[in-house]
Amino acid sequence: MLITEMKSKETLCSLISGKVFIINCHGCKEVRFPEKEAKEFQKELAAEGKVTGKLTTDYVCNPENMKLRLEKHMSEIEAADMVLVFSCGVGVQTIAEYLEDKKVCAACDTYPLPGFQGVTPLEYDCKQCGECYLNITGGICPITACSKSLVNGQCGGSKNGKCEVDSEMECGWERIYRRLAQLGRLDVLKCPVQVRNYATDDEVSKDK
């Protein structure tokens, strides 16, 4: 149902500053989860004294379940400078919403495969784009929170905080801006966004 791949060590190390609390999801990732790579990387972080605690559970996307589990680790989470989540994008968004005052980062990218992600029908969704933007948008996905799936900022058409495409929908980029301001991370909006290659495997093979 899901294929998650751990981001490169270089990318993850660039995100980590200070202490980190780790969350692993062993839920609906039956196809592939980078368990070996994740364990090795987490072991390295622990050896460096950077890990305040770790929680491994199933279905991180279930907010009620996660709230109960996270409450047992709040002292470890509060002692950390950030939370690193090894899950699909739905899990990361669930954690970021609950820990709204804490920097929450995605350790994995999620790739498309027929099926579904998550067990709870929430407002969160993961388009399995293969290049998770949650680390630079405060845990709010611009692909799903913005009706135009813009990744380089607000379109300028919103009115009174509402989307110009759907007046009932809150502007995703205004939500992102507020979350980053709350976290004191508005500087990440200056990060350049890499142009995505939407070519299919068949198109790539033809070019070769």
| Residues 153-190: tens digit of each pLDDT | 888 888 888 998 988 899 999 999 999 999 999 988 88
* Residue ranges covered by each domain of the chain: 3-137
CA distance 24 to 35: 9
46 pLDDT higher than 80: yes
> Whole-angstrom Cα distance, residue 29 to residue 31?
6
3-state secondary structure of 103: strand
Under a CB-based contact definition with an 8 Å cutoff, are residues 140 and 93 in contact?
yes
Comparing 114 with 167, which gets the higher pLDDT? Answer: 167
CA distance 139 to 1: 22
**Enclosing H/E stretch for 111:** strand 108-111
Instruction: Name the pTM for this structure.
Output: 0.83
In the predicted structure, residue 29 carries a pLDDT above the cut 60: no
Highest mean pLDDT among 62-66, 76-80, 127-131, 166-170: 76-80
* Residue 206 vs residue 24, higher pLDDT: 24
Distance CA 138, CA 176 (A): 6
pLDDT at position 111 is 81
pLDDT digits (tens, 9 = 90+) for 130-142: 888 899 899 999 8
pLDDT (0 to 100) of residue 119? 55
Q: Who wins on pLDDT, 193 or 79?
A: 79
Per-residue pLDDT, 4 = 85
Our CA angle for 179, 131, 133, nearest 5°, is 10
Q: Does residue 118 carry a pLDDT above 80?
A: no
Q: Is 77 helix (H, G, I), strand (E, B) or coil?
A: helix
**The CATH classification of domain 3-137, taken from the options 3.40.50, 3.30.40, 2.60.120, 1.10.3470:** 3.40.50
> Is the model's pLDDT at 82 over the cut of 90?
yes
Q: How many residues does the chain have?
A: 208
Whole-angstrom Cα distance, residue 203 to residue 122?
34
pLDDT recorded at residue 51: 97
